[in-house]
Amino acid sequence: MEAKLLRQQVMNDSRRALVLDAARSVFERLGIEGASIREIAKQAGYTPGAIYSYFENKEAIYGALLAESLERLNAAVDAAVHAAGAAGLSPDELLEATARAWFGFYAANPRDLDLGFYLVQGMRPRGLTTELNFQLNDRLHDALRPCEEALQAMGLSPDDALRENTALFAHGVGLLLLQHTGRIRMFGQDATALFKNYVDALLWRLRPAQH
């Protein structure tokens, strides 16, 4: 009996995941505007009505998509943190490793970047409950926290660490955006290299004693 319930639960979850995959795929193929319930359903091999067994409405799908994206982001960052711990890295190296973790994630998965920005700015109506919005915010913050802790470990006050972390995040996001929109080619530059430059300059700047 229990096995049956469990199996059903698994089935259900996996079908929900299937719809989510379809949504992600449609989203990638047609962009946010073209991603209709009809299209998602078709991609998932369902009729539109069936989608509503798994998600309350269209925006819940995007909410789930974003939530899941943030989980993957955090997983990537956590992996970097653990690897760093195992390797016994210095604070400097830890900052570099954790910054590269989130930056690399978005560089490798530009659609996850889209998702975040679209959901955050484009969805007003009912989408993104305030509560959900906070949850997602928190998860983003979680992914950036290791950088902040590394900055503190390097001797910065909590305030300074927060400020530098914000600037670091902004810098990375700006580069990712330029790369993603193809704007960076216009400058003949490479986002990843520039991000490394920024981190290096930051590390240099935070070593006042060695001047």
Partner DNA sequence: AATGAATGAGCCTTCATTCAT
Partner DNA sequence: CATGAATGAAGGCTCATTCAT
- The interface region with a copy of itself, picked from 44-52, 69-77, 81-89, 168-176 by CB under 8 A, is 168-176
Dihedral sign computed on CA atoms, order 176, 73, 166, 121: positive
For a copy of itself, which stretch binds (CB under 8 A), given 11-19, 54-62, 100-108, 185-193? 185-193
170 binds, among DNA, a copy of itself, none (CB under 5 to 8 A by kind): a copy of itself
Angle CA 184–190–196, to nearest 5: 125
* Among 62, 76, 165, 199, contact with a copy of itself (rule: CB under 8 A): 165
Binding of a copy of itself by 63 (CB under 8 A): no
When asked if residue 4 is in the footprint of a copy of itself (CB under 8 A), the reply is: no
Residue among 14 and 121 whose Cβ is closer to a copy of itself: 121
Nearest approach, Cβ of 159 to a copy of itself (angstroms)? Answer: 9
CB of 171 to a copy of itself, least distance (A): 5
- Per CB under 8 A, the list member of 142, 173, 196, 203 interacting with a copy of itself is 173
Q: Which residues bind a copy of itself (CB under 8 A)?
A: 30-34, 114, 117, 120-122, 124, 137, 140-141, 162-163, 165-167, 169-175, 177-178, 180-184, 186-189, 191, 194, 197-198, 201, 205, 211
